[in-house]
Amino acid sequence: MNFFFRSMKMVRFCLFLSLFLVSLGSLTGMFLVFYVTKDLPKLPSPLSRIIETPQTQIFAANGQVLITLGERKPIHLNRVSKAFINAIIATEDHRFFEHHGLNKLRILKGLYVTFFHSGKVQGASTITQQLAKNLFFSFEKTYDRKFKELLVALQIEASNTKQEILQAYINQIHFGAGAQGIEKAARVFFGKSALDLNLAEATLLAGLPKSPTRYNPYRHYDRALKRREVVLKRMAQVGFISDLEVRQTLLTRPELYHEQSDSRTGSYFLDVLIKELIQKYGEDVVYHGGIKVSATLDTRLQAYARQSMVTGLERLDAMMGITKEQTDHPQGALVAIDTGSGAVKAMVGGRDYYTSEFNRAIKSRRQPGSGFKPFLYYAAFKDLGFHPATILTDKPVRIPVRGAADWKPQNFEKRFSGDMVLKKALTYSVNTIAAQLVEKTGPDAVIRIANACGIRSPLQAVYSVALGTSSVTPFEMASAYSVFATLGVMHDPFFFWRVEDAFGRIIFEHIVQEKRVLDASTTYQVVDMMKSVIERGSGQSIRQQGFSRPAAGKTGTTDAYNDAWFTGFTPTLCTSVWTGFDTQKKMVDSNRVGITGGNIAAPIWGDFMMNALNADPERDFPIPDTIRFEMVDTTTGCQLSGENERQDGLVVALKKEQRVCKDGEQ
């Protein structure tokens, strides 16, 4: 009996204690509600005000909208596929239509898991709470924030219908890839409206808000499918679909929409443009100012650039024997600049933006190899009085370097061809002759010319700088070669022509200014030599492709075959192409033969330029009045006449005062 009495005493004590605690809890709760209320954010009325931020629009050069920043395409619930609504409700809050903002059972379960299973945290937020959090609070995890979010959710429920809440929710959730709201997401990921989403697509989208980056289907398609499986099973548990539908849907792999993937927030060009706008005007203006920006990007050229790069890199994969399943693929970059203004017309910063946002066109500094030789030849012509018919000897060279081992550059073919004119030396990219030239000009002269043409990356004042051992970006190469295309006139490269406010008032206009940085006649001589690179030298694969317009350029391949370049231009468009691995890794084909700029970068360049210029009239480079042409023997540099003209001769561009020896005069 004593045990019974003691138990009853304990029960009584517990009862009174519980009553006391409940009373205390209630009082504390009431106090907190009143106390916290004054700091709670005011709710906009109606909730649809959440989409009233003015949108910043960026237009392409042809007027097409490239991107709308802060864009939300709010739609009514009846314009959303039923499958998506069911999927999001099943996944996020299946009792949404039953509760008044809180799911108490889920909260209790969440508290239990959080307190009694160390290391685990169970989420218990309803759709209304998530809406409250997204609208008003940061993502900081504190009890204070959670409590306020809970109170706001209660108010949202009290002042809006369930339909209004659900509509606001699906119109503001983030799906990644710059898509906010279901309509935008449906258009970005599947190229269709939210109403047309089928079960497979709707469930894939419904899985994304949990972690838009982790489940981004462009980057982690299989991971996104796994998440979709969770959504489908949840829908079946809740009773929205049958197990058969789950099994059938799991077999389908929704096709992602790739058509405009380069013209969305993510594209490499837009990243650079937006960064520049932010530097100029600040984030508030760019994201909330409703400005209209006229970009330089030409969507037609951009599409060609992307296509040429994709095709070229697939070809490179095939040459190297790399299969799709392998993870380490070579990358590429392409920049195209309008030579007459400096406007950047197209930019590809990598193989696929959605697998790597790193913009190799702007940020990746790589050794340009022989792509630097035009700066050297210009310096030699200008400073030493050399010309394209000057003779030097292709032979083993050893150049003493103060405080270091002698520099002994090698030719790519590892053989020597004896005497030759400089035009032939550049055409066939003879390193030993370039080394002799830089020994005479000094590396500073080469750096001076490169800097004048717009190379801003640090260049080391060593002899090998002439052979491209200092790293530069494809953007710099395209910009610098543009100076050759205009025969010495520099235009600063730029990304946007005009910025207007929401009322069409002009905030900024780009003025195209010309700066003569190189002498026109000397530049023409170098350009004429670079034309020969495409006609008969290391870039002749371009002619074999069928690109017949007047063009000039130079290949570049680094010693270890880590980088393969081709930068070239017509009088109107200058394009630089780089290919290589992100890490220092050799590019060799299946026979272990190194892949050069002429093998891979030049065909990408040719493919792009053929498409880019197909609608433009053909133009040749203007010839300065001071230039005349002579046919010379490539080994003696002497003028050829009569029958000799058909033999080993090259037409060289000479200034009026420059003389070559007559045939037999040597």
Q: 41: cis peptide before it, omega within 30°?
A: no
Q: Does 340 bind another protein (CB under 8 A)?
A: yes
> Could you tell me which stretch among 113-121, 453-461, 499-507, 628-636 binds another protein (CB under 8 A)?
499-507
Q: Can residue 147 be called a binding residue for another protein (CB under 8 A)?
A: no
The residue with tokens 């004590």 is 13
Q: Which is nearer to another protein, 136 or 407 (CB)?
A: 136
The candidate with the shortest Cα–Cα distance to 650, out of 391, 393, 411, is 391
User: H/E element holding 283?
Assistant: helix 283-288
Number of residues lying near another protein (CB under 8 A)? 61
624-629: list long-range contacts, CB under 8 Å, 24+ apart: 624/487, 624/520, 624/521, 624/524, 626/521, 626/655, 626/656, 627/521, 627/524, 627/525, 627/653, 627/654, 627/655, 627/656, 628/653, 628/654, 628/655, 628/656, 629/653, 629/654
Q: Which stretch binds another protein (CB under 8 A): 135-143, 388-396, 434-442, 610-618?
A: 135-143
Which of the stretches 199-207, 299-307, 430-438, 502-510 binds another protein when contact is defined by CB under 8 A? 502-510
CA distance 93 to 116: 23
Q: How far does Cα 159 stand from its chain's mean position? A: 44
Which one, 137 or 221, has the nearer CB to another protein? Answer: 137
Stretch that binds another protein, among 4-12, 74-82, 298-306, 434-442 (CB under 8 A): 4-12
Residues 539-568 that bind another protein (CB under 8 A): none
* Contact residue for another protein among 75, 127, 152, 392 (CB under 8 A): 152
Measured in whole angstroms, how far is the alpha carbon of residue 525 from the centre of its chain?
36
Judged by CB under 8 A, which of 215, 354, 497, 621 binds another protein? 497
Site string for another protein, 93-112 (x = CB under 8 A): ------xxxx-x--------
Q: Is 563 helix (H, G, I), strand (E, B) or coil?
A: strand
Q: Give the residue with the Cβ less far from another protein, 251 or 511.
A: 511
What's the min distance (Å) between Cβ of 250 and another protein? 37
String of DSSP letters for 103-161:
-HHHHHHHHHHHHHSTT-------HHHHHHHHHH--S---HHHHHHHHHHHHHHHHHS-
Q: Show the CA angle centred on residue 267, arms to residues 265 and 270, nearest 5°.
A: 70
**Residue 556 to residue 554: CA distance in whole angstroms:** 7
**What tokens were used for 233?**
């099973």
Please check whether residue 368 is in contact with residue 455, taking contact to mean a CB–CB distance below 8 angstroms: no
Task: Rule CB under 8 A: say whether 154 interacts with another protein.
Answer: yes
Decide if residue 287 touches another protein (CB under 8 A).
yes
| Closer of 137 and 581 to another protein (Cβ) | 137
Q: For residue 307, give every residue at least 6 positions away whose Cβ sits within 8 Å of its Cβ, in sequence order, or none.
A: 611
Member of 402, 505, 592, 646 binding another protein (CB under 8 A): 505
Does residue 250 interact with another protein by CB under 8 A?
A: no
CA 348, 364, 409 angle in degrees (round to 5)? Answer: 115
Radius of gyration of the chain (CA): 33
Considering only 244, 251, 405, 511, the residue that binds another protein (CB under 8 A) is 511
Q: What are phi and psi of 421, to 5 degrees?
A: -75, 160
| Identity of the residue, 1 or 615, whose beta carbon is nearer to another protein in the bound complex | 1
Closest CA to 556 of 596, 589, 595: 596
- Does residue 19 touch another protein according to CB under 8 A? yes
- Among the candidate windows 47-55, 250-258, 398-406, 425-433, which touches another protein by CB under 8 A? 47-55
5 near another protein, judged by CB under 8 A: yes
Strands (E) across 219-341 are located at 292-295, 331-338
CB nearer another protein, residue 52 or residue 643: 52
Closest to another protein by CB, 77 vs 154, is: 154
Are 181 and 84 a contacting pair, CB within 8 Å?
no
Can you point out the beta strands (E) in 327-377? 331-338, 344-348
Query: To the nearest whole angstrom, how small is the minimum distance from the Cβ of residue 289 to another protein?
Result: 3
Tell me: does residue 151 bind another protein (CB under 8 A).
yes
In this chain, which of 20, 25, 27, 44 binds another protein, going by CB under 8 A?
Answer: 44
Among 155, 193, 248, 261, binds another protein (CB under 8 A): 155
The residue among 151 and 452 lying less far from another protein, judged by its C-beta, is 151
Among 68, 82, 110, 136, binds another protein (CB under 8 A): 136
Contact residues: another protein, CB under 8 A:
1, 4-5, 8, 19, 22, 33, 37-45, 49-50, 52-54, 99-102, 104, 134-138, 151-152, 154-159, 281-285, 287-291, 340-341, 497, 501, 505, 507, 509-514
